Structure 1
Amino acid sequence: MATFAKSDQLLVIIDPTARRLDGESVRIAKDVLSAGAAAKVCLPEGPEEFARALDRRGTRRPVVVGGDRALVRTVSLLHRQRELAGCALSVVPVGDTSLAESLGVPGGAVAAARAVLDGAERRLDLLVDDSDGVVLGALGIPPVPVREPGARVPVPSGHPWLRTTYRSLIRTLASRPARLPAVPCPGHARLRVDVDGETVVDLDQPVEKVSVTPAAGGVAEVEVRPLAVGAERTPLLTSGRTVTVAGADFRYRADAAVSGPVRKRTWRVLEGAWGLVLPPA
């Protein structure tokens, strides 16, 4: 892992969604970073300004203050510019932070900002598809719906006991995983999955779920769950450098975004393709 000098200059790009959702955490992160290094702060108002700020970083180390979507957007931009190899990226998660934290970034503005200043670069594997899309953490088929960052569930007005009961019901329902029907779903459930040219499951075997995760050593871990009818079926586990999924129009979730529909998509693993600054081991 490569370490950094205190004199390093930082380009702090604050995502507009983070500013809207949690201005206090953004302020704390900015104060900690500015106190510990020479930091230029950018406040882009949209994706185009975000891209321009990143493109004009010069020799400054980019630091993204924002949620998982901002992190994926940054890696995607650097990948398409073919500049990932020479760029050590830092992130202070604000908003939706599950992806960043799963990669080892500390939760909380202060801890994450201190990791930017005192941490070291760790090279991570990346999944890249045949349309130049990237996957940092996990790929799932079919996509599991998630609530947008900052979305609020309306609470009925009236007596306090009614509001309390309603919130309790919403929490109970939200904690239960969505159940797929016990019959083959048209299109999405009939897929052919090939790993390094070997067929794991074909179109004649309906599947409930396919997940692909980049792992260490330049390979992806693949889990295929055949659709259970009656007795539960054992998941099929394998790993490889190239994963191809084909079938009738299907959608997939790559990190924080849903893509598709597509009929065929291939992902390949790029070993050590990008660098993320994390706390020292």
Structure 2
Amino acid sequence: MSDHDQLLVIVDPVARRSDGESVRIAKDVLSAGAEAKICLPDCPEEFSRALSRRGSRRPVVLGDDRSLLRAVTLLQRDRAALALVPIGPPGALEIAYGLGVPRGAVAAARTVLDGAVRSLDLLVDDSDGVVLGDLRVPAAPVPAAGTAPSVWGTCRSLVRTLVRPAPVVPGVRTHRLRVEADGVLLADVDAPVAAVTARPREGGVGTAEVVVHPAAADPPRRAVAGSLTVSGPDFRYRADGRIAGPVRRRTWTVRAGAWGLTLPREAVPPV
């Protein structure tokens, strides 16, 4: 049996608790088509330890975007490939689906067995954080986890309305940031911006598309670059839906072909 047929199947504990039936189905499909060692970590430390001891086995994660990000963070230094069987609510799998992972435990498990590895780029920051998809600086405000916008948000809106009339057109928040792409200055602190966004370009070309959104009515400024540096007053940023910071300076660098993901063969371009 080849190394390709030897799998290390790591089942995220959240996936086990949230959808045990899909986990069971995926395990049955994988075990029927390959030699599969099943690992059931109970914490992030055990998850990391299992990946580090994978040997020649191909890692397969059963979980959501959070599990995928954890695995890529641990494997990207080795430029290793992995596969994902998505388990969780759709809102927790936006990154996976955006990358082309099939929906459903059966389809995804069959892709693990019959698919092909697509080499993908990665944005890595100077604190070893990774970005698989979208980066936004600064982070857009979102409701805190566990809050109920329909109750507390409505109450606050009602109080503000009673105290003073609501503005007809909400103002655009501006930020004083210095933005450099491959050392080229795109914005400075004397010209406020609404946001900066970046995303690795498709095709594994080792660059990201950077867009600076001015606070004024000027058109966005775009650049294609291998690195992005943002500095200025304390700011937070959103990477793949996660909020990080505050920081005063952060540099992201594109690592070409830093990891691989098993996808349906029709989604992987020929070499």
Give the structure 2 partner of residue 126 of structure 1.
122
CA offset digits 1:12-69 (Å, max 9, x no partner): 1011112222222222211211111111111111100101111111111000111111
Give the structure 2 partner of residue 92 of structure 1.
85
| TM alignment of 1:7-26, pairs within 5 A | 8-26=5-23
Give the structure 1 partner of residue 242 of structure 2.
257
Paired residue secondary structure (2:265) = coil
CA shift in 2, pair 1:155/1:18, >3 Å:
farther
| TM alignment of 1:240-255, pairs within 5 A | 240-255=225-240
Is 2:193 the partner of 1:204? Answer: no
Contact 1:184 1:206 in 2 (8 A): no
Bigger proportion of residues as helix: 2
CA shift in 2, pair 1:191/1:60, >3 Å:
same
Give the structure 2 partner of residue 223 of structure 1.
211
Give the Cα separation in 2 of the matches to 1:69 and 1:145: 20
Of 63, 67, 89, which residue of structure 1 is paired with 2:64? Answer: 67
CA shift in 2, pair 1:75/1:202, >3 Å:
same
Give the Cα separation in 2 of the matches to 1:105 and 1:153: 31
CA shift in 2, pair 1:129/1:181, >3 Å:
farther
Contact 1:143 1:258 in 2 (8 A): yes
Unmatched 5+ residue regions in structure 1? 157-179
Give the structure 1 partner of residue 221 of structure 2.
236
Give the Cα separation in 1 of the matches to 2:209 and 2:61: 28
Of 46, 50, 53, which residue of structure 2 is paired with 1:49? Answer: 46
- TM value normalised by structure 1: 0.80
Give the Cα separation in 1 of the matches to 2:41 and 2:68: 15
CA offset digits 1:159-182 (Å, max 9, x no partner): xxxxxxxxxxxxxxxxxxxxx952
Q: Which amino acid aligns with 1:109?
A: A
Q: CA deviation at 1:148?
A: 8.8
Give the Cα separation in 2 of the matches to 1:197 and 1:273: 22
Contact 1:243 1:267 in 2 (8 A): yes
Give the structure 2 partner of residue 164 of structure 1.
none
Paired residue secondary structure (1:208) = strand
Q: CA deviation at 1:105?
A: 0.9
Q: Which amino acid aligns with 1:227?
A: A
Contact 1:6 1:36 in 2 (8 A): no
Aligned length in residues:
245
Identity %: 59
Give the Cα separation in 1 of the matches to 2:196 and 2:22: 36
Contact 1:68 1:256 in 2 (8 A): no
Give the structure 1 partner of residue 259 of structure 2.
274
Give the structure 2 partner of residue 116 of structure 1.
112
CA shift in 2, pair 1:113/1:122, >3 Å:
same
- RMSD (CA atoms): 2.6
| TM alignment of 1:79-228, pairs within 5 A | 79=76, 82-83=77-78, 85=79, 87-95=80-88, 96-144=92-140, 182-185=171-174, 189-215=175-201, 216=203, 217-228=205-216
Is 2:33 the partner of 1:36? Answer: yes
- TM value normalised by structure 2: 0.83
Give the Cα separation in 1 of the matches to 2:184 and 2:149: 48
Unmatched 5+ residue regions in structure 2? 152-168, 267-271
Give the structure 2 partner of residue 177 of structure 1.
none
CA shift in 2, pair 1:252/1:21, >3 Å:
same
CA shift in 2, pair 1:145/1:119, >3 Å:
farther
Q: CA deviation at 1:146?
A: 5.9
Paired residue secondary structure (1:125) = strand
Q: CA deviation at 1:207?
A: 1.5
